[in-house]
Structure 1
Amino acid sequence: MASCASDEGSTPEEEGYEPTPLDLKVPVLFQQTISSPVIPGDNPQTVEGVALGKKLFFDPILSGDNTLACAGCHAPEEAFSDSRQFSPGIDGIEGRRNSMPLFNLAWNFKENFFWDGRVNSLEKQALEPVIDPVEMHNTWPNAISNLQATSAYPELFSKAFGTSTIDSTMVSKAIAQFVRTLISGNSRYDQFLRGEIELTEAEQNGLDIYIDEERGDCFHCHGTPPNDLLWTDNDFHNNGLDEIFDDLGRGAATGDPREFGLFKTPSLRNLAYTAPYMHDGRFETLEEVIDHYSEGLVYSETIDPLMKAVGEGGVQLTEQDKQDLKAFLLSLSDESFINNPDFQEP
């Protein structure tokens, strides 16, 4: 009788079902130079969890009016960022920060997320947009009710987590599992490190400028190649954008005046796809970004000591150096990442 009942439609939770473990596809260069990714013990990667998280990521069902998905502000073709300066929520209201790209977040060893680092896990990060009135403007009880009422989601949650009774914790865990699979490690520079191609003369000179303390001095915040392939220190800096802060950045999260105007260092990967740049998307082009560090630095009380050339307005690059630095920075973009079928809308 038990056998017959099992054959006639019992659910995974009734059978003590276990989801299928899934290893991340870690690039060989990452394995050689970066520590193992951060995978929480209570949220291991599984085939079923990632599939569920991907479906949720592209489904507008989590928003208050069923019109806005996570992918609405984190588009695959834009390296999971937004080409608009500010992403409008379901009520047409815009925030004041540019949408951050999503890739290689499993290697955020400092476990600080958002421009101000206000949460310490991908799971917590996934919770916030749903209830933010400027974004999805929903409540979790309403979002869960909508998911529970569908024909598909209870079974998918049962397969991923062993229960068809949905809650916000499982939603955030599934989305976090999918986001951890968003790995970018096949740029031209990665191919160069693997011995598959040579850098152009401009790219090589741009790399030299990047690591030169007198010219580019980029590596203190974005890492020293070939070992720091995340291209971010995952820390917070005031990089000389403003004298007075309309947005307190890290200081708004901590309340510490010494952190007013500090924002998280974004990765330099995939800059070809993630314009506009800076926390508020003020720069539309890489040329503007380079000009800022060359001759646009502004002093303020919390400016990072690494902005050593602020007294001269910047590092004063030549026009040729600017072009070469841009060429190198673009060599960090990964076309295969934005076209990976595993990351496209199902």
Structure 2
Amino acid sequence: MSMPKVAIIISGFAVLLLAVAIIVLQPTGPQTRPLLSFSAPFVFGHFNIPADNPLTAEGVKLGRRLFYDPLLSANNRVSCATCHLQQLAFTDGKAHSVGVSGIPLPFNSMSLANTLWGPQHFFWNGRAQSLEEQALMPIQDPNEMAQDMNELIDKLRADEVYVRLFGAAYGEISAKNIGRAIASFERTLISANSKYDQFLRGELKLNTQEERGRKLFMAHPDAKASLRGGNCIDCHSQFLTSGFNTQFDGFTNNGLEAEETLEPGLEALTGLAADRGKFKVPSLRNIALTAPYMHDGRFSSLEQVLDHYNGGIKLSSTLSPLIFEANNQQNDSTLSLNLNKEEKQALIAFLHTLTDNTFINDKRFSDPFSKQVQHNE
């Protein structure tokens, strides 16, 4: 073989190797960026983000759009944001939310603030075991958004914007990736700049009434030791004010119903009679904005909530023992905190310090379809 032919063959192999190298080195999936703007208060404690759904700028951007898009419902009129309004700390102000069917749902709409922490079983009865699972359930529920998942995927694939956004975030449009995106957005909904947070950071002092309410909130009453308390901290963990995250410690029966009228609650998930009547302990963050209260929205005001704990408790076999133990009056066998009027007013004053105006006005969490938001962004 002559030298020129050898050179040509070698050159040909070099070109082939270079082409293979380029193909191998080319990105094979979405090229995502870390969510640089994300931060979490250290006082809230440890949290976990699924390894298969890291927080990325692309995933959160997609999730935000999906969250606000009524395209996700069968009639193209109901979005996640229909029942989770930012100005109400992502609740809807109704005792029972209403979806596409027009039939009131069994439960009150829960706030989505600080879902990174607390019991990682979602909804009042804990039926979803991850935010990704939680995100998909209302979409398919016949009374909420009533959307067939395959039909939704077809809708999204027909939308050039979603094709591009899904491609950038996850590579393809699928049910799993819809759940991933919405969950990613929901994980960024952190409320941590209330008056109480500023107090914790040493930036301000609470007034006399608020401070008295804070101390009552944190104290378990001990009448023998003359220690008065509101017993709130026993269920609403200190900084987050939500339920504890160990197994099902974040679910409790707080005496709303007597034995014969107990609803299933957590029992629907665990199958255990001992869990009947237990519901998820909600966060008290922004509680002044999230009325009505309890899983069925039965209380319209914080005053009514305190009246419940101050004499409205109903006895049942699964009633939390923490309620049995909580009484500010010695030698009193009633299921009552026995708080006086001033103490109730102080507790309510403290609860108002949990309102986070930064959170409810944060543009990062707002409706991306709003013309004003589009203009500013």
TM score, norm. by length of structure 1: 0.90
**Which of the numbers 242, 254, 258 marks the counterpart of 1:239?**
254
CA distance in 1, matches of 2:70, 2:287: 27
Q: Deviations over 1:276-331 (max 9, x none)?
A: 11011100100000111111111011101011258413111111111001001111
Shift of 1:93: 1.0
Q: Deviations over 1:192-231 (max 9, x none)?
A: 111111101110111121122223111110123xxx3344
Within the alignment, does 1:207 sit opposite 2:217 as a pair?
no
Map 1:1-346 → 2, pairs under 5 A? 16-23=29-36, 25-27=38-40, 30-31=41-42, 33-108=43-118, 110-163=119-172, 166-214=173-221, 215-224=229-238, 228-234=239-245, 235-243=250-258, 244-245=260-261, 247-308=263-324, 309=326, 311-346=333-368
Shift of 1:171: 0.3
Structure 1: which 4+ aligned runs deviate by more than 6 Å?
Answer: none
Shift of 1:162: 2.2
Q: Check the 8 A contact 1:245/1:260 in 2, yes or no.
A: no
CA distance in 1, matches of 2:44, 2:114: 11
Q: Check the 8 A contact 1:86/1:94 in 2, yes or no.
A: yes
CA distance in 1, matches of 2:220, 2:46: 30
Q: Deviations over 1:59-84 (max 9, x none)?
A: 00110111100000011011011101
Shift of 1:247: 2.6
Q: 3-state DSSP class of the match of 2:92?
A: coil
Q: 3-state DSSP class of the match of 1:312?
A: coil
Q: 3-state DSSP class of the match of 1:68?
A: coil
The structure with more radius of gyration: 2
Aligned residue for 2:20?
none
Shift of 1:23: 4.3
Q: Check the 8 A contact 1:23/1:45 in 2, yes or no.
A: no
CA distance in 1, matches of 2:152, 2:73: 7
Shift of 1:24: 6.0
Q: Check the 8 A contact 1:206/1:321 in 2, yes or no.
A: yes
TM score, norm. by length of structure 2: 0.83
Judging changes above 3 Å, is the alpha-carbon distance between structure 1 residues 14 and 26 closer, same or farther for their aligned structure 2 residues?
Answer: closer
Judging changes above 3 Å, is the alpha-carbon distance between structure 1 residues 60 and 246 closer, same or farther for their aligned structure 2 residues?
Answer: farther
Please give the root-mean-square deviation of Cα atoms over the aligned residues, in Å: 1.7
Which blocks of at least 5 consecutive residues in structure 2 are unaligned? 1-25, 222-228, 328-332, 369-377
The one-letter amino acid of 1:320's match is E
Aligned residue for 1:5?
none
Q: Check the 8 A contact 1:86/1:280 in 2, yes or no.
A: yes
Q: 3-state DSSP class of the match of 2:178?
A: helix
Shift of 1:25: 2.8
Which deviates further from its counterpart, 229-238 or 204-213?
229-238
Judging changes above 3 Å, is the alpha-carbon distance between structure 1 residues 41 and 325 closer, same or farther for their aligned structure 2 residues?
Answer: same
The one-letter amino acid of 2:60's match is V
Q: Check the 8 A contact 1:271/1:333 in 2, yes or no.
A: yes
Q: What is the aligned-residue identity percentage?
A: 45
